[in-house]
């Protein structure tokens, strides 16, 4: 277990802390950074995340816990074996081979050569460097060096790992291996404290998360709730999260074997299948599912409607409608009733998907099943219905 109470950091910085939802930080000289009193606990076998923009204090927290920068706290309880993966480039000598640098890094972490030899083949294989392991590090790209450093770290025996942006290095295959390896470590009882901009990474590894802004805790709690808050605040403030933050990988998701969408039917008010409607007509989306085994607890069924140019014109799910339920093994049917579909003339595509929850699964793309833009719907209008995106009933009067 790891516990810190009222952690405080204060120092002069050449760069301002920025704000939570800004896209860039403004350079300032001698700006003072303060981390307010921060208290949290990480249990054995738990992933714990810290998110926020550059300058919000994420990396400073890790450095303070590792003893690399001055800090104060009322109490800190550390497990026996703590290892850090912060600035791994510091450990590499450019004239040494990758192999020699592994032994150098091993000495920095106060490990014996015999300990390294037990896992060195696995480390090299995990890094994917192959014969480059015998070449001087000066010939390595930044990504190759980081892959070697991360591979070494992951194969150490630790109770608590402090790590910064594990998915910022390597190709997709390497990133997936890192995620899978860390998940296994956590399942086997290790704790991981990770700082990241990548919500996907956080959602997959962490059960609890802290959201920081300018050294202040904005939100602390279950990762699902923190991700939800973050996304809603971005939407409310008219900001966009980059593709990197939302997530770049579609991970292997075992849940997709449990539930699948059998078919979808788009029906008119007479329960007849339809592909063409007029503005203002109602449609019913009949969704037929099958659960192969077990019980799917509180799933989220999402409907999205896109115009043929890709514009999202409508989205809804059963959570928003305050409908919560479990689905038992076997077939099940549900329907969304869309009354008065007031869309202007165009071709629209309907997407149906089923998820384990509302926000975490969205950023990690862990859907049970998804039929994306699979169903066509043509909306026809008359000249008097106007133009644009939506139809709004309108009358005209000559006043004078």
Where is average pLDDT lowest: 21-30, 31-40, 369-378? 21-30
Is the backbone of residue 271 left (phi > 0), alpha (psi -120 to 50) or beta?
Answer: left
How confident is residue 26, by pLDDT bands cut at 50, 70 and 90? very low
> Which of 47 and 66 is assigned the larger pLDDT?
47
Q: What is the pLDDT of residue 257?
A: 82
Q: Please write the tens of the pLDDT for every residue from 353-384.
A: 999 888 777 666 678 999 988 899 999 888 88
Q: What is the pLDDT of residue 16?
A: 42
Domains of the chain: residue spans and CATH: 2-246 (3.40.50.300), 254-385 (2.70.50.60)
The rounded distance, in Å, linking the Cα atoms of 311 and 389 is 10
- The tokens for 224 are 């699902």
Integer angstrom CA distances of residue 278 from 166, 342, 381:
51, 9, 6
Q: What is the pLDDT of residue 251?
A: 41
Q: Please write the tens of the pLDDT for every residue from 145-201.
A: 888 888 998 898 899 999 887 666 666 678 878 888 999 999 999 999 998 877 778
Please, what is the average pLDDT of the chain?
83
Q: Please write the tens of the pLDDT for every residue from 321-352.
A: 999 999 999 999 999 999 999 999 888 999 99
Q: What is the pLDDT of residue 215?
A: 80
| Average pLDDT of span 105-129 | 89
> SS3 of 219, please?
strand
> Which of 265 and 59 is assigned the larger pLDDT?
265
Q: Please write the tens of the pLDDT for every residue from 239-264.
A: 444 433 434 334 444 456 899 999 99
How confident is residue 235, by pLDDT bands cut at 50, 70 and 90? low
How confident is residue 20, by pLDDT bands cut at 50, 70 and 90? very low
Q: What is the pLDDT of residue 274?
A: 93
What phi and psi values does residue 50 have, to the nearest 5 degrees?
A: -130, 125
Contact status, residue 78 vs residue 158, Cβ threshold 8 Å:
no
Question: Above pLDDT 70, what percent of the chain?
Answer: 84
> Which of 11 and 16 is assigned the larger pLDDT?
11
Global confidence as pTM: 0.61
CB count within 10 Å of CB 357 equals 17
Q: What is the pLDDT of residue 168?
A: 64
- The tokens for 202 are 């956080």
- Using the predicted structure, report yes or no on whether residue 28 has a pLDDT greater than 60: no
Q: What is the pLDDT of residue 312?
A: 86
Contact status, residue 251 vs residue 205, Cβ threshold 8 Å:
no
């Amino acid at each position: 277990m790891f516990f810190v109470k009222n952690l405080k950091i204060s120092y002069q910085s050449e760069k301002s802390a920025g704000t939570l939802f800004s896209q860039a930080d403004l350079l300032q000289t001698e700006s003072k950074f303060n981390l307010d009193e921060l208290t949290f606990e990480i249990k054995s076998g738990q992933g714990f995340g810290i998110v926020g923009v550059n300058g919000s204090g994420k990396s400073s927290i890790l450095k303070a816990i590792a003893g690399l920068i001055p800090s104060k706290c009322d109490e800190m309880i550390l497990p026996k074996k703590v290892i850090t993966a912060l600035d791994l480039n510091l450990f590499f000598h450019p004239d040494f081979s990758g192999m020699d640098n592994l032994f150098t890094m091993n000495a920095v972490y106060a490990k014996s050569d015999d300990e390294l030899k037990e896992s060195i083949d696995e480390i090299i294989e995990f890094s994917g460097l192959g014969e480059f392991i015998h070449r001087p590090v000066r010939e390595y790209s930044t990504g190759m060096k980081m892959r070697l450093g991360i591979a070494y770290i992951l194969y150490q025996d630790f109770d608590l790992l402090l790590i910064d942006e594990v998915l910022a290095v390597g190709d997709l295959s390497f990133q997936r291996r890192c995620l899978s390896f860390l998940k296994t470590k956590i399942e086997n009882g290790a704790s991981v404290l990770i700082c990241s901009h990548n919500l996907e990474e956080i959602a997959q590894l962490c059960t609890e998360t802290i959201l920081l802004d300018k050294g202040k805790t904005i939100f602390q709690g279950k990762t699902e709730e923190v991700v939800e808050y973050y996304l809603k605040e971005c939407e409310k403030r008219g900001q966009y999260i980059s593709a990197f933050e939302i997530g770049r990988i579609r991970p292997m998701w075992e849940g997709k074997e449990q539930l699948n969408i059998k078919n979808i039917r788009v029906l008119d008010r007479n329960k007849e299948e339809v592909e063409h409607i007029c503005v203002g007509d109602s449609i019913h989306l009949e969704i037929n599912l099958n659960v192969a085994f077990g019980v799917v607890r509180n799933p989220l069924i999402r409907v999205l409607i896109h115009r043929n140019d890709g514009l999202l014109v409508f989205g809804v799910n059963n959570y928003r409608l305050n409908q919560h339920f479990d689905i038992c093994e076997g077939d099940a049917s549900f329907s969304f009733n869309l009354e008065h579909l007031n869309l202007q003339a165009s071709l629209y595509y309907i997407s149906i998907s089923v998820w384990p929850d509302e926000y975490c699964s969205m950023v990690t793309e862990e859907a049970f099943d998804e039929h994306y833009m699979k169903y066509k719907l043509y909306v026809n209008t008359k000249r008097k219905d106007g133009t644009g995106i939506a139809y709004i009933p309108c009358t005209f009067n000559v006043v004078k």
